[in-house]
Amino acid sequence: MAKTPPIHHATIIDSFDVENHNLKVGGVPLKQLAERVGQTPFYAYDRSKMTQRLAQLRQQMPSELKIHYAMKANPMPAVVQHMASIVDGLDVASAGEMKVALDTGMAANQISMAGPGKRPVELAQAIAAGITVNIESFNELEELAIQSNRLGIAATVAIRINPAFELKSSGMKMGGGPKQFGIDEEQVPAALKRLGALQLNFAGFHIFSGSQNLKSEAIIEAQQKSIALAIKLADACPSPIRKLNIGGGLGIPYFPGETPLNIAPIAEALDKEMQRAKQYLPDSSVIIELGRYLVGEAGVYVTRIVDKKYSYQQLYLVTDGGLHHNLSASGNFGQIIRKNYPLAIGNKMNWPEKEKTMIVGALCTPLDLLADQMECSEAEIGDYVVVFQSGAYGLTASPADFLCQPSAVEVLI
Ligand SMILES: *Cc1c(COP(=O)(O)O)cnc(C)c1O
């Protein structure tokens, strides 16, 4: 099996075109793009990169696999609209996201809602919309039945299982051991029994064990265990499983030394598993749900340098953006050890003069750091700082109101 070499930040940056030292996003040189947007900071997402990523994935994965977009990664309506035109379904985590998903015209039966703490009104909205509700607890199941009776519409339900296994080497675990997500594997038969008694419309299972994984062996193992678990539970179901959502977890490399995910072995193993699933669960489609893998590499965050100063010989470039727009890049969104995201001076690409610098945001906190001791093109006030790998968990995953700074604009190119 061909091993992909570990990435260097340059690998990610080089996947964008450059013209006259200007980075191009979606074919538009950065300076021109900034003029078009009319302000910094902004996020720019390249739709062709999203389309390409999905096409590559489909080419490798079994043709019967359904690929859903988990829209919490990037819920910008234009992005979701674009994704809706190329994926098989949308996964939402709130009624707010459900609205954006329905607005795209995606069929309701290809939309599912997951997430703990769904309020009665959200459950009612989901039932009225006709989407699939992934149930996370026994109480939620009862409330869903109450709302279903009140509306006179049979709710479509999948049970989210908190599996006994965990996704190894995952950046963010969502299964294995006590969790707020899903119903513990051992309690699922009881939930299925209750679901049958409540006469709800049973769709299947949702098994999401974790996120941001770069180890294909770990993903293969989780997928095998998920499918085996569904097969094991099939007899306890009130009706045939129609949907088996085996989660996602496909990660993208952010830091030097990380290796892009090798899809080929995952696809090969999944193909075998899907053959098995077909035999035991003939009515079921198999779904994976992906967020960052589909959109993360398609987006950049662009800020402008507003100050350049030295503090005890250390150079600081101060930008007009920061962690209030891109918490992930600052290292404060779930990272244990802070590392630099790939970053470049976007109007001085391939610049001969370099300097080692700190790049910070405009917030009054030392946490507001975009680059720590990074070797960059020599930059001046007015130059653009571009943070790569920013298409997922960017603007909406950041504390926008912290320090009452102006907001960032988002564009899809
Ligand atoms: C967040 C989430 C995803 C997407 O995770 P990514 O790491 O962005 O792929 C998928 N499914 C569920 C249930 C989630 O909560």
Q: What is the CATH number of the domain that holds 25?
A: 2.40.37.10
Ligand 1: distance of its center to the CA of 70 in Å?
6
- CATH number at 269 reads 3.20.20.10
- Considering only the C-alpha atoms of the chain, give the largest distance between any 2 of them, rounded to a whole number of Å: 72
Residues 35 and 175 in one domain: no
Ligand 1: distance of its center to the CA of 92 in Å?
10
Our answer on whether the CB atom of 290 is closer than 6 Å to any ligand 1 atom is yes
- Residue numbers of the domain that contains 172: 114-290
How far apart CA 65 and CA 82 sit, in angstroms, is 20
Residues 36 and 130 in one domain: no
Q: Whose C-alpha lies nearest to ligand 1, atom 2?
A: 70
397 within a domain of the structure (yes/no) = yes
Our answer on whether the CB atom of 114 is closer than 6 Å to any ligand 1 atom is yes
Residues 194 and 334 in one domain: no
User: Best mutation site among 208, 328, 396 for ligand 1, i.e. most ligand atoms within 8 A of its Cβ?
Assistant: 208
Residues 276 and 301 in one domain: no
98 within a domain of the structure (yes/no) = no
Residues 32 and 118 in one domain: no
Our answer on whether the CB atom of 243 is closer than 6 Å to any ligand 1 atom is no
Residues 181 and 274 in one domain: yes
User: Best mutation site among 71, 72, 215 for ligand 1, i.e. most ligand atoms within 8 A of its Cβ?
Assistant: 72
Listed residues 273, 290, 307: the one ending a domain: 290
Alpha helices, DSSP H only, in 61-187?
Answer: 77-84, 95-103, 120-129, 138-151
54 within a domain of the structure (yes/no) = no
Element (H, E) at 277: helix 263-280
Our answer on whether the CB atom of 182 is closer than 6 Å to any ligand 1 atom is no
Residues 22 and 158 in one domain: no
**Nearest CA among 302, 304, 270 for reference residue 287:** 270
Listed residues 251, 273, 290: the one ending a domain: 290
Read off the DSSP letter of residue 163: -
Asked if 114 and 182 count as a contact pair (C-beta separation under 8 A), the reply is no
331 within a domain of the structure (yes/no) = yes
**Tokens 């989780």 sit on residue:** 222
Closest approach atom of ligand 1 to CA 72: 1
Our answer on whether the CB atom of 97 is closer than 6 Å to any ligand 1 atom is no
Pairing status of strand 299-311 against strand 314-319: antiparallel
Ligand 1: distance of its center to the CA of 291 in Å?
6
What is the SS3 string spanning 198-265?
CCCEEEEEECCCEEEECCHHHHHHHHHHHHHHHHHHHHHCCCCCCEEECCCCECCCCCCCCCCCCHHH
Residue 1 is predicted with a pLDDT of 44
First and final CA of the chain: distance in angstroms? 36
Residues 192 and 266 in one domain: yes
Closest approach atom of ligand 1 to CA 251: 7
Closest approach atom of ligand 1 to CA 114: 13
> In the chain, how many domains are there?
2
Listed residues 226, 261, 290: the one ending a domain: 290
Ligand 1: distance of its center to the CA of 290 in Å?
6
Residues 189 and 305 in one domain: no
156 within a domain of the structure (yes/no) = yes
Residues 145 and 286 in one domain: yes
Global confidence as pTM: 0.96
171 within a domain of the structure (yes/no) = yes
Our answer on whether the CB atom of 72 is closer than 6 Å to any ligand 1 atom is yes
Residue 9 is predicted with a pLDDT of 83
Our answer on whether the CB atom of 325 is closer than 6 Å to any ligand 1 atom is no
Closest approach atom of ligand 1 to CA 206: 13
Ligand 1: distance of its center to the CA of 112 in Å?
13
Our answer on whether the CB atom of 387 is closer than 6 Å to any ligand 1 atom is no
Residues 338 and 266 in one domain: no
Residues 141 and 271 in one domain: yes
Ligand 1: distance of its center to the CA of 269 in Å?
21
Closest approach atom of ligand 1 to CA 294: 9
Which tokens hold the place of 268? 């090969």
Read off the DSSP letter of residue 406: P
Q: Whose C-alpha lies nearest to ligand 1, atom 9?
A: 291
Q: Whose C-alpha lies nearest to ligand 1, atom 14?
A: 70
316 within a domain of the structure (yes/no) = yes
Closest approach atom of ligand 1 to CA 212: 7
**Nearest CA among 262, 249, 335, 247 for reference residue 293:** 249
Sequence-separated (6 or more) residues with CB below 8 Å from residue 104: 80, 81, 84, 85, 90
Our answer on whether the CB atom of 248 is closer than 6 Å to any ligand 1 atom is yes
Our answer on whether the CB atom of 211 is closer than 6 Å to any ligand 1 atom is yes
Ligand 1: distance of its center to the CA of 197 in Å?
31
Residue 409 is predicted with a pLDDT of 98
User: Best mutation site among 67, 215, 289, 390 for ligand 1, i.e. most ligand atoms within 8 A of its Cβ?
Assistant: 289
242 within a domain of the structure (yes/no) = yes
Q: What is the pLDDT along the chain (413 residues), one digit of tens a residue?
A: 445 566 778 889 999 999 999 999 999 999 999 999 999 999 999 999 999 999 999 999 999 999 999 999 999 999 999 999 999 999 999 999 999 999 999 999 999 999 999 999 999 999 999 999 999 999 999 999 999 999 999 999 999 999 998 777 777 776 678 999 999 999 999 999 999 999 999 999 999 988 999 999 999 999 999 999 999 999 999 999 999 999 999 999 999 889 999 999 999 999 999 999 999 999 999 999 999 999 999 999 999 999 999 999 999 999 999 999 999 999 999 888 999 999 999 999 999 999 999 999 999 999 999 999 999 999 999 999 999 999 999 999 999 999 999 999 999 99
